[in-house]
Structure 1
Amino acid sequence: MKTAFINSPLGITKIEGDENGVAVISVLSEGELSIEIPTELLDAVTQLQEYFEGKRTEFTFKLNPKGTDFQQKVWQELLNIPFGKTMSYLDLSKKLGDVKAIRAVASANGKNPLWIVVPCHRVIGTDGSLTGYAGGLWRKKWLLEHENPSKQQSLF
């Protein structure tokens, strides 16, 4: 597994993957930046930088996240939430075919290993509130405002 560390407005972004695709993207509060980017991660690094610069709304590099079948199903559905839009946990559960699975869906959402690219930050509470986010609610708020600046989130 190859690793790269790049700077972002939200902290150091850690990218891990190999020739089969990117398996993990996470954010760290501190860390050392990579001097050289492994070839296998160049597309991911470039596309994430373009995203933060406001020049990219979708990602096209190969993904290879590790998770259970159910987690994979949830993460796949997250990819269908359009840039600049949000969806509630309840609506996500309905799309997956089981409104009673809301807690399991929320748990799978929280275990998403591909920060930003699989847009778990676009899932909010039914009442429109920002709810738990592994990277911290301030990052979730920043990402939602970055993706839809005309709709500033007044959810705190």
Structure 2
Amino acid sequence: MKFKNTLLFTSHIDTRLGGVRLVATDQGLAGVWFDAQRHFPDITGWQTNDAHPVLAEAATQLRDYFEGRRRQFDLPLDLSHGTAFQQAVWQALRAIPAGATTSYGRLSAGVGKPAAVRAVGAAVGRNPISVIVPCHRVLGADGSLTGYAGGLDRKTALLELEGAL
């Protein structure tokens, strides 16, 4: 994930699935990564600001989610740091409700690219806003748990929390 010419604010919270790095721009929440997650960005030069309104609200909503008190998120998101194709995939992920899953093939068809399953999978893997943009709800064609940048153990835990497993 490349954030160019953007002032970035960051904070860190602890959850039952490990530490989580939150990132916001002036436009909204731009990143949620578990510690040591694949594709974790270089945070050099980012300004720590636990009181940033978007970061503080994201922290509250994520804590509520992990405690089973929240199933949906209500936050301004900034997904502008991906390609147009990635942004389309990330928007499609947002339509998968808690407790439900989809396959990479159905997701590909949903973004109008039914033959682009691998490209959709790559975009899902690069989702910068884990949990809130629910890439963990995408399964293999046979329903198997496949790929999750935060680790399959976390994907399993998230799906169990939502009642999808």
The TM-score, its normalising length taken from structure 2, stands at 0.84
Which of 24, 27, 40 lines up with 1:20 in the alignment?
27
Number of the residue aligned with 2:40: none
Number of the residue aligned with 1:38: 51
Paired AA for residue 114 in structure 2? V
Runs of 4+ in 1 over 3 A off after TM superposition: none
Which of 112, 115, 121 lines up with 1:106 in the alignment?
121
| Residue 63 of structure 1 pairs with residue 77 of structure 2 | yes
Mean CA deviation greater in 86-95 or 20-29: 20-29
Deviations, residues 55-100 of structure 1 (Å, cap 9, x unaligned):
1111111111210000000000000001110000011111112211
Counterparts of 2:102 and 2:59 in 1: how far apart (Å)? Answer: 27
Number of the residue aligned with 2:14: 7
Alignment of 1:7-156 (within 5 A): 7-28=14-35, 37-40=50-53, 41-65=55-79, 66-148=81-163, 152=165
Counterparts of 1:105 and 1:36 in 2: how far apart (Å)? Answer: 33
Report the count of equivalent residues: 145
Contact 2:10 2:49 in 1 (8 A): no
Unaligned residue ranges in structure 1 (runs of 5+): 30-34
2:95 partner SS: coil
**What is the percentage of aligned positions where both structures have the same residue?**
47
Tell me by how many angstroms 1:38 deviates.
Answer: 2.3
1:12 partner SS: strand
Number of the residue aligned with 1:32: none
Contact 2:9 2:52 in 1 (8 A): no
Counterparts of 2:95 and 2:160 in 1: how far apart (Å)? Answer: 19
Unaligned residue ranges in structure 2 (runs of 5+): 1-7, 37-47
Counterparts of 1:87 and 1:39 in 2: how far apart (Å)? Answer: 34
Counterparts of 1:26 and 1:37 in 2: how far apart (Å)? Answer: 16
Tell me by how many angstroms 1:2 deviates.
Answer: 1.2
Counterparts of 2:113 and 2:76 in 1: how far apart (Å)? Answer: 29
Higher relative contact order (CA 8 A, sep 6+): 2
